[in-house]
Amino acid sequence: MPSHTQQLTTIGLVRSPFKEAAGMPIQPPFAEGTEGIVEVFPEYADGLHDLDGFDRIWLLYWFDRAPSPRLRVVPFRDEVQRGLFATRAPCRPNPIGLSCVRLLRIEHNLLTVGGLDILDGTPLLDIKPYVPGFDAFPQSRAGWLENQRAGRVLADDRFGPDGSRSSGGPRSELD
């Protein structure tokens, strides 16, 4: 299996009210009332210039409490197995999370953000500006999620470290 080792650098930490996955909103739109702090380590603060003009930012982070990767999962918003890459589940070959959060204010190296769906203490890998021209495609068809919009909006423990409710079906060879 081709692979390469890369040194990923933690550039900060996410501070959120969520100490465990169960009960956490599964995506930012379901976490509108939730504020948190993105602490960017001081040596990277110079890279935050000009970010205050953006309403939203992408956070890329390391799912440090995700279980082993598997290629079929029962996602939070469904009751049947789906292909992993058709879901946003954390148990990925490269467990990198992606969330679009609201940028409320910046004070030095601390970003106050709204709509946070990330566990407290999560290592931050990158921040990118949200640019509608690059990122917003509101009419895009969303597969199995099309009919799930009124469904579940909070996580349970199915992707928790014990993995006890992690699949409900056969696991992939990667698990």
Q: Which residue of 79, 107, 146, 162 would you call a contact of its own copies, by CB under 8 A?
A: 146
**Least distance to its own copies from the beta carbon of 157, Å?**
21
Report CA-CA distances (Å) from 80 to 21, 72, 83, 142, 174: 20, 10, 10, 16, 19
Integer Rg of the chain from CA: 17
Q: Which residue of 17, 23, 121, 132 would you call a contact of its own copies, by CB under 8 A?
A: 132
DSSP secondary structure letters along 72-139: EE--TT-SS-EEGGGS--S--SS-EEEEEEEEEEEETTEEEEES--S-TTEEEEEEEE--HHHH--TT
Q: Of the ranges 6-14, 15-23, 158-166, which one interacts with its own copies (CB under 8 A)?
A: 6-14
Report CA-CA distances (Å) from 88 to 41, 63, 108, 130: 27, 11, 31, 19
Q: Does 139 bind its own copies (CB under 8 A)?
A: yes
**Least distance to its own copies from the beta carbon of 22, Å?**
20
Contacts with its own copies in 57-86 (CB under 8 A)? 57-58, 60, 62, 71-72, 82-86
Q: Of the ranges 15-23, 124-132, 159-167, which one interacts with its own copies (CB under 8 A)?
A: 124-132
Q: Which residue of 79, 107, 108, 137 would you call a contact of its own copies, by CB under 8 A?
A: 137
**Least distance to its own copies from the beta carbon of 99, Å?**
8
